[in-house]
Amino acid sequence: MVPLIDPFARAISYLRVSVTDRCDFRCSYCMSENMTFLPKADLLSLEELDRLCTAFVGMGVQKLRITGGEPLVRKGILTFFEAMSRHLQSGALSELTLTTNGSQLAKFAAPLAALGIRRVNVSLDTLDPAKFAQITRWGRLPQVLDGIEAAKAAGLRVKINAVALKGFNEDELFYLIDWCAANDHDLTFIEVMPMGEDMGEGLRLDQYWPLKDLRARLAQQYTLTDLAERTGGPARYVRLEETGQKIGFITPLTHNFCESCNRVRLTCTGQLFMCLGQEDMADLRAPLRASPDEAPLEQAIRAAIARKPKGHDFDYSRQHVTGKMTRHMSHTGG
Ligand code: SAM
Ligand code: SF4
């Protein structure tokens, strides 16, 4: 089948799929505490998610990342991973992976590894139990640390994703790095993004810790070497020469990575977002539900990719946040 190529000659080989908007945590930068979730009837069934993902795989998507909300709280999620693993076995997918808060990993790590998952991204912003409870509101650190242990024991490679938050985890920077080195986890820092309408701009700007400042602080203690490696996404990597560790930086606001963008995002209601930083989306649920025939669905996907914009326009440079997105990361899938 003809691969998905957008108008800027970028091949779309990476699909991120949010399988639920629900979560067992309420991270303050991601959700409000009394978050209203979507009616269950709006969500795609696991069979519908399978059809959609399979259509993308048929059109050249090689990497599938399952996210949410918290993907591992979706009922029957293992059945879905099992279904997707057939595309690993056929060789169509080169990677099937997930981003999780880690709360359910103690239960799921071994079965996921058995299905061919090799790596998992675990979001963890602090190693201090009290601060962890504060930032996630409903999360408890020991549960996540147990989950990470289980992932390691199952042979999964763990990457820790930490949102850089000013006045919150600044003082843990070196501790986090040492802890990841000691446990052989990769580590990536994420710049906080202005997502969600009901959290107020004040909170966003207050918490904004530019990764260039984080990097400058790292450089006081380590020799940093920029690595050429790119993933088609917003991550850039440096090596800490003293320890050999590779540290990632995801800076969607301060770096332009759009020219090499290879990804699109599917929400749990079947909306396809062609760019994390733009409101435009295509509804794939309607063609999916309209007919058991795959042709209209494929056509809708191709039409959406033909609208993929050149880039996004977040901007923190002014006193107020411009280019702010009104949807939550838990909706689009971070
Ligand atoms: N629940 C899973 C988790 O936390 O890993 C997967 C979904 S979560 C929305 C994906 C990632 O988005 C997490 O690493 C989280 O820290 C990040 N995230 C959420 N809100 C964010 C924001 N406003 N700015 C930057 N990253 C954010
Ligand atoms: Fe849940 Fe992940 Fe959002 Fe935290 S960042 S509230 S764990 S979806």
**Per-residue pLDDT tens listing for the chain (334 residues):** 889 999 999 999 999 999 999 999 999 989 988 989 999 999 999 999 999 999 999 999 999 999 999 999 999 999 999 999 999 999 999 999 999 999 999 999 999 999 999 999 999 999 999 999 999 999 999 999 999 999 999 999 999 999 999 999 999 999 999 999 999 999 999 998 765 544 444 455 578 899 999 999 999 999 999 998 877 777 899 999 999 999 999 987 654 678 888 999 999 999 999 987 778 999 999 999 999 999 999 999 999 999 998 887 654 443 344 444 555 566 665 5
Could you tell me if residue 289 is inside a domain? yes
pLDDT the model gives residue 201:
42
Contact by Cβ (8 Å): 279, 271: no
Q: How many A from CA of 334 to the centre of ligand 1?
A: 5
Residue indicated by tokens 């763990």 = 158
From the alpha carbon of 329, which atom of ligand 1 is closest? 9
Q: How many A from CA of 117 to the centre of ligand 2?
A: 21
CA distance 209 to 119: 28
Nearest CA to ligand 1 atom 10: 334
Could you tell me if residue 4 is inside a domain? no
Q: How many A from CA of 70 to the centre of ligand 2?
A: 6
Contact by Cβ (8 Å): 254, 212: yes
Q: How many A from CA of 60 to the centre of ligand 2?
A: 29
Could you tell me if residue 9 is inside a domain? no
CA distance 95 to 88: 7
Neighbours of 308 (CB within 10 A): 25
Nearest CA to ligand 2 atom 4: 27
Contact by Cβ (8 Å): 242, 232: no
Cα dihedral 25, 26, 28, 29, rounded to 10, equals 80
Could you tell me if residue 321 is inside a domain? yes
From the alpha carbon of 23, which atom of ligand 2 is closest? 1
pLDDT the model gives residue 11:
95
From the alpha carbon of 330, which atom of ligand 1 is closest? 9
24 torsion bin: left (phi>0), alpha (psi -120 to 50), beta (else): alpha
235: Cα separation from own chain's centroid: 11
**Element housing 122 (H / E):** strand 119-123
CA distance 160 to 156: 12
Cross-strand pairs, 208: 165
Could you tell me if residue 96 is inside a domain? yes
The CATH number covering residue 280 comes to: 3.20.20.70
For a mutational test of ligand 1's pocket, the pick from 100, 190, 253, i.e. the residue with the most ligand atoms closer than 8 A to its C-beta, is: 190
pTM, entire model: 0.92
Name the residue among 75, 50, 74, 76 with its Cα closest to residue 64.
Answer: 50
Structure tokens at 55: 């259509």
Domain range for residue 263?
A: 14-332
Could you tell me if residue 252 is inside a domain? yes
Judged by its nearest atom, the ligand closest to the C-alpha of residue 124 is: 1
Could you tell me if residue 150 is inside a domain? yes
Burial group, residue 241, by CB count within 10 angstroms (0-12, 13-18, 19+): exposed
DSSP 189: E
Domain count, the chain: 1
Lining ligand 2 with CB less than 6 A are 23, 25-27, 30-31, 68-70, 101, 123, 330
Q: How many A from CA of 70 to the centre of ligand 1?
A: 10
Could you tell me if residue 7 is inside a domain? no
Judged by its nearest atom, the ligand closest to the C-alpha of residue 327 is: 1
